[in-house]
């Protein structure tokens, strides 16, 4: 895990994901690429000739430049390798274009457009369309205990397997790894890989793991996973993400959307 792509925006989660990016970079001797999209392609009702937009553009650019200068000055004093890319365009497509040679993408739990309400549309876009593992960081986080406990939400799907494989570098540093399999009322024919298979895979990488089966009862699967992670004081949660172009769903039946709405801890996802 040597190349980290950090999404930069002036939102409430910026400090959280910056600190997590620095923690990961120090642990893995990784390089951090700070991607700062500056989007000018928006419309304002009633502004038929674009006059108001034309007046706003210099202010938007100035604000972006101020954030760049402020963060670059700060990064210059950190003991990590980094570079800065400020590019014009919407966040989602720019992230997709730049993630190809990244090992991990860091995004805030609440994106630029939803002002801290509900799951980040940007995280949903990256989870569905991206091919690089994604770490979604909530606002309250100030560090990532890489040597702490890790919890993996397991349901036997290919998406969960991809997330598990992608997380191996992080899981290899964890003090303990728990595979949490949430039993659901109905059988799912697409669940083909057992938790034992997953544990054996991890063991080949020198990673010991515990298997726990949880029956959610009146709880949703997302609530059961969050509760299991909290009980183990997990540093982060690994889940597989699955969805379509206009929706954010998972093979758990909406777990990604639920967990991303109010993530209790950083969430590692792969599609």
Express each pLDDT in 150-181 by its tens digit. 999 998 988 899 999 999 999 999 999 999 99
Kindly state the greatest CA–CA separation across the chain.
Answer: 63
Express each pLDDT in 9-28 by its tens digit. 998 999 999 999 999 999 99
What are the residues whose beta carbons fall under 8 Å from the beta carbon of 127, sequence distance 6 or more?
Answer: 134, 241, 243, 248, 256, 269, 271
Average pLDDT of the residues in 64-84: 96
- Do 265 and 235 contact (CB within 8 A), yes or no? yes
pLDDT for 222: 84
- Do 35 and 6 contact (CB within 8 A), yes or no? yes
What are the residues whose beta carbons fall under 8 Å from the beta carbon of 239, sequence distance 6 or more?
Answer: 152, 153, 160, 163, 225, 250, 252, 255, 256, 259, 267, 268, 269
Average pLDDT of the residues in 243-269: 65
Express each pLDDT in 192-205 by its tens digit. 799 999 999 999 99
pLDDT for 95: 92
Residues of the chain with CATH 3.40.50.620: 3-137, 149-270
CATH number of 3-137: 3.40.50.620
| Domain made up of 149-270: CATH architecture | 3-Layer(aba) Sandwich (3.40)
Task: Tell which wins on pLDDT, 130 or 51.
Answer: 130
Task: Tell which wins on pLDDT, 43 or 83.
Answer: 83
Q: 41-45, 112-116, 180-184: which range is least confident on average? A: 41-45
């Amino acid at each position: 895990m040597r190349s980290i792509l950090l999404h930069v925006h002036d939102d409430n989660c910026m400090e959280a994901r910056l600190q997590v990016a620095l923690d990961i970079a120090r642990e893995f001797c990784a390089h951090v690429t700070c991607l700062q999209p500056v989007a000018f392609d928006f419309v304002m009702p009633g502004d038929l000739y674009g006059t108001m937009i034309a007046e706003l553009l210099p202010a938007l650019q100035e604000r972006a430049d101020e954030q760049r200068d402020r963060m670059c000055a700060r990064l210059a004093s950190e003991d990590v390798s980094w570079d800065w890319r400020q590019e014009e365009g919407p966040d989602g497509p720019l992230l997709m274009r730049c993630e190809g040679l990244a090992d991990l993408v860091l995004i805030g739990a609440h994106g630029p457009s939803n002002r801290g309400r509900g799951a980040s549309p940007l995280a949903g876009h990256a989870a569905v369309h991206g091919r690089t593992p994604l770490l979604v960081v909530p606002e309250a986080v100030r560090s990532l205990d890489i040597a702490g406990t890790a919890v993996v939400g397991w349901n036997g799907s290919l998406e969960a397997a991809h997330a598990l494989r992608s997380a191996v570098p992080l899981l290899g540093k964890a003090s303990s790894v728990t595979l949490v399999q949430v039993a659901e009322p109905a059988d799912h024919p697409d669940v083909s890989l057992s938790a034992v298979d997953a544990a054996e895979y991890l063991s080949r990488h020198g990673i010991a793991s515990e298997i726990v089966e949880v029956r959610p009862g009146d709880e949703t699967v997302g609530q059961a996973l969050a509760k299991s992670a909290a009980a183990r004081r997990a540093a982060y949660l690994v889940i597989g993400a699955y969805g379509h172009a206009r929706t954010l769903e998972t093979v758990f039946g909406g777990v990604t959307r639920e967990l991303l709405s109010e993530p209790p801890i950083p969430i590692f996802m792969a599609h």
